[in-house]
Structure 1
Amino acid sequence: MILEPPLIFHYIARKAYRYLEQCSERSLLLLCSLLLIGLGWLHYSFPVDISFFLFYLVPVAIVTWFIRGEWGILFGVISAVFWLASDLRIELGKHLSAHLWNMSVRSIQFAIIVYLLTAFKRAYNLEKTLARFDTLTQTVNRYHFFELLQAQLTLNQKNCISFTIAYIDLDDFKQINDKFGHQVGDNILRKFAHTIQQNIRSQDILGRLGGDEFVLLLPNLNPQEAPTFLKRIQGCLTQITTPDHHSITVSIGAATFECFPTSCDEVLEYVDQLMYNVKMSGKNNIIYEIVKH
């Protein structure tokens, strides 16, 4: 299949962005320094006086976006100095004060672009965070959890490693909201999420699917460890109390998958059904299974 020119440009730009994103700061600085030096030499050697602003902007923008704004300002000043050298070559000894003025203006122009690019990056990172994380509990949201779970499924299929997943539901949460108000309910959800995050491993992932339903992805947690681990989580959660000093309770459906499901929906439907079975049998309990086929 032959790509149209706009699609080719988009493909190349995406590949370049991913490459730069994976580079270390030292590699990026070396790459952009060589690019800047090459541009300076080309500008100085060019037989006619043309604007190199857009060319200099490339290394300036790269170091600003992928490293820090301070590097962007430095690269902008260096670009202006290279530009000054080219101007002096063409009009040696003439209007030096004007050339110095032009260099200062160009440095300011680069600095303004660096400032705007830095502000845009902050807004971009904030938007990316809001798109991936639940603002109330600071856990990953449903969409991002599905992304992470799919990556885990792909990894496990490739390496034949089991994983555990738990569906956790806060019992009678609607009654808490009705009795004490949504602000109290939100505070309990925050404590709920914080308590779980304080008692899991660094590689574990807690997501909020909606309301009072949370899901916990536990990579490399084997069937021997999983029941004890989940029981400890449940015990920690029961230490959270409502304003009338009643402990909350949770229903947990969990499974260790030693087979390798192909879809996230299949995994979540399985543990969701286990959690529902807990609800139907009296709540405040854990049902745990090992899925081998």
Structure 2
Amino acid sequence: MMVCWCGRTAIAVVLAIACCTVWMFDDLVLLERPSITGAQIWISASHLIFYLVLISVLMRLRAAYDREASLARIDALTGLSNGREFHIQAVREHHRAQRTGDPLAVAYIDCDNFKQVNDRFGHCVGDRLLKEVAQTMQESLRADDTAARIGGDEFAILMPATNRDGAETVVNRIRERLADVMDANQWPVTLSIGVAVYESVPMTVDEMIRGADSLMYEVKKNQKDAVVFKLCV
């Protein structure tokens, strides 16, 4: 049954059939009967049906488990990582950067004037905007980068082994593509972005994340529609 739980359903079915067949012939040998009786066939068939039902139940339980596990990590609206998963990934990359000495960049992004879109066009359009932001970010990132929706109209990006030049390339690409998306849909939304690039990561993950978060709020408070990079040594 562990085979089924691990996702090998076809193998589990084959093993169930094999077990029932061996069981039937084992009874035949032990009882010293010259041929298989109808009762033995019925018993073996009953065992097989039981195993198949059990496999089906386990498949459904595993699917439900995987679904719940995914919901715990993924933002339901955008399909990006949620804040909890982002923190988990940040802890992992923080440890890796401490071990290897590689640089690491963290970006925080806020959608300026998002409330205007919700008020003017409705929440359905607001949700579509957030989905467009998420999709554009995903299409603009590299394989090792992690994008997350932290909450509301705030997003974050984790860029492992990335120096300032690399972070600028990624963030500016996202900014340019999202500007095109906003213009195409006539949405009055710009981006306030803070990017902290760590040549050497701080002692704690919270401090590392807070560095980018505070830069983003600095942009939002002072001017909006801008990006600030800070090299932290």
- TM-score after normalising by structure 1: 0.75
Equivalent pairs: percent with the same residue?
32
Worse-superposed segment, 283-292 or 84-93: 84-93
| Contact 1:237–1:248 (CA under 8 A) maintained in structure 2 | no
Cα pair 1:238 1:247 within 8 Å, conserved:
no
Q: Does 1:98 align with 2:32?
A: no
Q: 4+ residue runs of structure 1 moved beyond 3 angstroms?
A: none
1:244 to partner: Cα distance: 7.1
Task: Give, in whole Å, the separation in 2 of the partners of 1:242 and 1:268.
Answer: 30
Q: 1:244 to 1:206 in 2, by over 3 A?
A: closer
> Secondary structure of the equivalent of 2:181?
coil
Instruction: Give the deviation of 1:148 after TM superposition.
Output: 0.9
Instruction: Report the equivalent of 1:65.
Output: 5
Alignment correspondent of 1:39 = none
Q: Which runs of 5+ in 2 are unaligned?
A: none
CA shift for structure 1 position 261: 2.4
Deviation at 1:155, TM superposition (A): 1.1
* Aligned twin of 2:177: 236
Tell me the CA shift for residue 260 of structure 1: 2.2
Please say if residues 239 and 247 of structure 1, whose CA atoms lie closer than 8 Å, have aligned partners that are also in contact: no
Higher strand share: 2
* 1:28-61 deviation digits (Å, cap 9, x = unpaired): xxxxxxxxxxxxxxxxxxxxxxxxxxxxxxxxx1
Match of 1:286 among 213, 223, 227: 227
The answer to whether structure 1 residue 255 and structure 2 residue 188 are counterparts is no
- Please give the secondary structure, in 1, of the residue aligned with 2:164: coil
Contact 1:240 1:247 in 2 (8 A): no
Higher RCO (C-alpha 8 Å, min separation 6): 2
Q: Does 1:166 align with 2:166?
A: no
Q: Is the 8 A contact 1:141 1:209 kept in 2?
A: yes
Query: Structure 1 residue 68: deviation in Å?
Result: 2.5
Distance 1:234 1:85, change over 3 A: same
The separation in 2 between residues aligned to 1:191 and 1:209, in whole angstroms, is 16
Deviation at 1:220, TM superposition (A): 1.4
Structure 1 Cα separation of the partners of residues 127 and 12 of structure 2: 42
Count of aligned pairs:
232
* Distance in 2 between residues matched to 1:75 and 1:259, nearest whole Å: 53
Separation (CA, whole Å) in 2 of partners of 1:218 and 1:121: 32
**1:212 counterpart residue number:** 153
The aligned counterpart of 1:121 is 62
Secondary structure of 1:278's partner? helix
